[in-house]
Chains A and B, each alone.
Chain A
């Protein structure tokens, strides 16, 4: 079946530290991969996506590369800010050829950045 596993939180970092949140997946077919972010009191927002192997998604200084050989989509940022404090969800869409299929989410990783 399809599943997503991401590192347990919470993760606490100092401002300007390097961030990695690990995400691995299991899927049949050719999934698309996503990172969503949820700021306090808000909904899930798409942070970045990658639709095929070796694609790199990037947004707001965050990056993730779709690695088919390791079935991973780790989220990275070189220098985090206090405003990056949020919960980060890794997700996959199982069938990239049909579109609008339900997303499969990881448990979420809470990131706290302290000044």
Chain B
């Protein structure tokens, strides 16, 4: 069964460094999302992406964040200069069409020291 994959599973970085989190959505899906979950808190929406552009973003998704679909298969989230408060589990999700079902990856745990 097709699934969303994410790499790495765990990333440790120093404050101020750039990180890129990678996701491979399900191949025939058109809608892509990033969410994050700070430990012990809610899963929060960051950004959605469709037709090679951002379709919606939350207030969390500031200028330090960017997304890209560089090659038609990967979907990346970049944080330009990480802060301690960026430490969280980051989930990628994809959806095929205007249905409501989003398929989630296993997540990348980002630890900023």
**Binding partners A and B:** yes
Q: Is A34 an interface residue (CB 8 A)?
A: yes
Q: Does A46 lie within 8 Å of B41, measured CB to CB?
A: no
Binary B-proximity of A41-70 (CB < 8 A = 1, otherwise 0): 111111001010000000000000000000
* A96-B100, A99-B98 given; A43·B45 CB < 8 A: no
User: B1-55: which residues lie under 8 A (CB-CB) from chain A?
Assistant: 3-4, 6, 31, 33, 35, 40-45, 48, 50
State the Cβ distance, A59 to closest chain B Cβ, in Å.
Answer: 12
- B33 contacts A49, CB within 8 Å? no
Contact check, B106 vs A100: say whether CB atoms are below 8 A apart. Answer: no
Chain A nearest Cβ from B81, distance in angstroms = 25
Q: In the assembled complex, which residues on chain A have CB atoms less than 8 Å from the CB atom of B102?
A: 46, 100, 103
| Cβ A107 vs Cβ B100 within 8 A | no
A42 to nearest B CB, angstroms? 6
* Residue numbers in A under 8 Å from B103 (CB-CB): 46
Q: Are B48's CB and A36's CB within 8 A?
A: no
CB distance from A109 to the nearest CB of B (A): 12
Contact B98 A43 (CB under 8 A): no
Q: What residues of B have a CB within 8 angstroms of the CB of A100 in the complex?
A: 31, 48, 50, 95, 97-100, 102
What chain B residues lie within 8 Å of A51 (beta carbons)?
Answer: 100
Chain A contacts for B99, CB-based, 8 A: 99-100
Q: Which residues of B contact A103 (CB under 8 A)?
A: 35, 43, 45, 102
Question: Is A25 close to B, CB under 8 A?
Answer: no
Given known contacts A89-B43, A100-B48, A44 and B100 CB-to-CB distance under 8 angstroms: no
State A51–B98 Cα separation when bound (angstroms): 13
Q: Which residues of A contact B107 (CB under 8 A)?
A: 43
Given contacts A32-B100, A100-B98, A102-B33, contact A43 B43 (CB under 8 A): no
> Which B residue's beta carbon lies closest to that of A96?
B100
List residues of A whose CB falls within 8 A of some B CB.
4, 32, 34, 36, 41-46, 49, 51, 89, 91, 93, 96, 98-108
